[in-house]
Amino acid sequence: MRRPCKHPTPSARGFRHGAADLCLREVGDLLPRRFARRAAASEDLVMRLRIHRKLNRHTGCVNTVGFNADGDTLLSGSDDLTVMLWDWDTGAVKLQFDSGHGDNVFQARFMPYTNDQTIVTCAADGEVRLAKIADGGDVSTTLLGDHMGRVHKLAIEPGSPYIFYSCGEDGLVQHFDLRTNTATKLFLCRNSLSKSRPSSHVCLNAITMDPRNPNLVAVGGSNCYAHVYDIRKYKWDGSCDFGYPSDCYCPPHLIDNRRVGITGLAFSHQSELLISYNDENIYLFPKNGGLGPDPKASAKLETNKGSKLSTDTSREAVDRLAPQIYVGHRNCQTVKGVTFIGPNHEYVASGSDCGRLFIWRKRDGKFLRAMEGDECIVNCIEPHPHTITIASSGIDNDVKIWTPSATERAPLVNVDEVILEHQLSSLSILTFFNLLCIYLSYIFMLFW
């Protein structure tokens, strides 16, 4: 008689060796599917990541990479205005075509359930375009809509071959439906959430959709708040004032901070929201962990509660507001994305100004890897849909493919040493510019 499957406690899971899991699977105490997912999320695989191949055919910075649903094709777009489809395992180019854009391609994505024949792109020229691949390999591109400023990101509705959204530096969020090839202007994201006074718009860098609730769209840009909008509140006849978020996310210490902005957003499979700030860190908020539609009022309310309630209660309120933090990378010079890695999003990954890929354990923020990925800056990291394989790109003209093929585990890196290295690098750059200014002033005085 087969024994029932027993699922170990989280604490036990953390200390079990992979061989023990294999034994449990063989005797029927661990379901094969659960074993496969747990093995794919193994920290040992993360520690063995190394460069498998460099895809080097672009002639400009590669600003976007993305796998198809099957995971056998990689899509890339570049400053050279071309889009390429790769067999990433062999390094062969399956297809290359002109995007139709007049400036740097910032993002290119396959539409789901289109047999990889439909691709949407956005770029620095403010345009959102559609590329259709015919059976013979011919590609036609069409303008779907535009923004008054650069368009950094698109968000594809999960499971839909027709619906996606764009955000631009003009603060506008647009809805696209490929069944009609129409663009609908939804709203302007504004700095002030008050309905009583006008406000300037937020220059948007990032947009993402909750995979468990595609009605929720999060956007972020040139202020400290990630704004979440509920699409169900939009009236397609224009009769509803939809330009105000249903929720806002921000670490308590950054509320109303005008020095920081958001460069990257990502929703996990558990509806957690991951936010990457320029000149700051990365933060993970739990589901429904926002500050509400008016974050300043919420923060003020929590402060007042803390002064009236017991110490334990106020500490609980602070813990609810405090997100998980990921430190060590440097995000100052470019618009960097942020993403999850693993079948259940067990890890967090980001590029850095130091040319490395950084990987942290999601649940506790433990720093795991800092991998050399670019001569200058890593901007994009894209996980494979099924395995611990990563595509990365940045200022270099190539795409790096990372697989867990190293024979030895990577040594642990001290995150404090990495931070100190960044500080010394910033100090040396600042010193150089100060000396340059002094030298130029001296030359100016000599020839005046």
Res 84: pLDDT: 98
The secondary structure of residue 233, as a DSSP letter, is G
Whether the per-residue pLDDT at 5 is higher than 50: the answer is no
How many angstroms from the chain centroid is the CA of residue 386? Answer: 18
- Quickly list DSSP for 370-404: EEE--SS-EEEEEE-SSSS-EEEEESSSSEEEEES
- CA–CA dist 233, 242 (Å, integer): 7
- CA–CA dist 98, 121 (Å, integer): 11
Tokens of 39: 């093995």
The secondary structure of residue 4, as a DSSP letter, is P
Q: What is the mean pLDDT of the chain?
A: 86
Mean pLDDT of 62-87: 98
Query: Which amino acid is located at 92 in the chain?
Result: A
Mean pLDDT of 249-274: 95
Res 323: pLDDT: 95
- Domain(s) labelled CATH 2.130.10.10 in the chain stretch across 46-405+414-432
The predicted-structure confidence for 395-404, as pLDDT tens digits, reads as follows 999 999 999 9
Mean pLDDT of 61-72: 97
Closest CA relative to residue 221, chosen from 231, 206, 237: 206
Residue predicted with more confidence, 293 or 311: 293
Q: How confident is the model at residue 295 (pLDDT cuts 50, 70, 90)?
A: confident
The predicted-structure confidence for 87-124, as pLDDT tens digits, reads as follows 999 999 999 999 999 999 999 999 999 999 999 999 99
- CA–CA dist 202, 310 (Å, integer): 39
* For helices 311-321 and 295-308, angle between their N-to-C axes, nearest 10 degrees: 160
Cα atoms in the 13 Å half-sphere on the side-chain side of 3: 10
Q: Name which of 204-213, 239-248, 336-345, 397-406 the model is least confident about.
A: 239-248
- Do 427 and 336 meet the contact criterion of CB atoms below 8 Å apart? no
Cα distances (Å, whole numbers) of residue 143 to 51, 106, 357: 36, 15, 34
173: helix, strand or coil: strand
Closest CA relative to residue 106, chosen from 317, 263, 308: 263
Cα atoms in the 13 Å half-sphere on the side-chain side of 255: 19
Whether the per-residue pLDDT at 16 is higher than 60: the answer is no
Q: What is the model's pTM?
A: 0.84
Mean pLDDT of 133-139: 93
Res 11: pLDDT: 40
Partnered with residue 92 across adjacent β-strands are: 87
Whether the per-residue pLDDT at 412 is higher than 70: the answer is yes
Burial 137-175 (b: 16+ CB within 10 A, else e): eebebeebbbbebbbbbbbbbeeebbbbbbbbbbbbbbb
Q: Which residues contact 242 (CB under 8 A, 6 or more apart)?
A: 186, 187, 229, 233, 234, 235
Res 31: pLDDT: 67
- Do 42 and 386 meet the contact criterion of CB atoms below 8 Å apart? no
Closest CA relative to residue 119, chosen from 102, 103, 96: 96
Mean pLDDT of 2-7: 48
Mean pLDDT of 208-231: 96
Tokens of 153: 């990101």
- Let me know how long the chain is: 448
Q: How confident is the model at residue 327 (pLDDT cuts 50, 70, 90)?
A: very high
Res 328: pLDDT: 93
CA torsion angle 324 326 332 335 (round to 10): -70
The predicted-structure confidence for 145-204, as pLDDT tens digits, reads as follows 999 999 999 999 999 999 999 999 999 999 999 999 889 999 999 987 666 566 789 999
- CA–CA dist 422, 429 (Å, integer): 11
- CA–CA dist 401, 381 (Å, integer): 10
CATH architecture of 46-405+414-432: 7 Propeller (2.130)
- Do 57 and 78 meet the contact criterion of CB atoms below 8 Å apart? no
Q: Which residues contact 164 (CB under 8 A, 6 or more apart)?
A: 109, 111, 120, 154, 155, 156, 157, 176
Query: Which amino acid is located at 254 in the chain?
Result: L
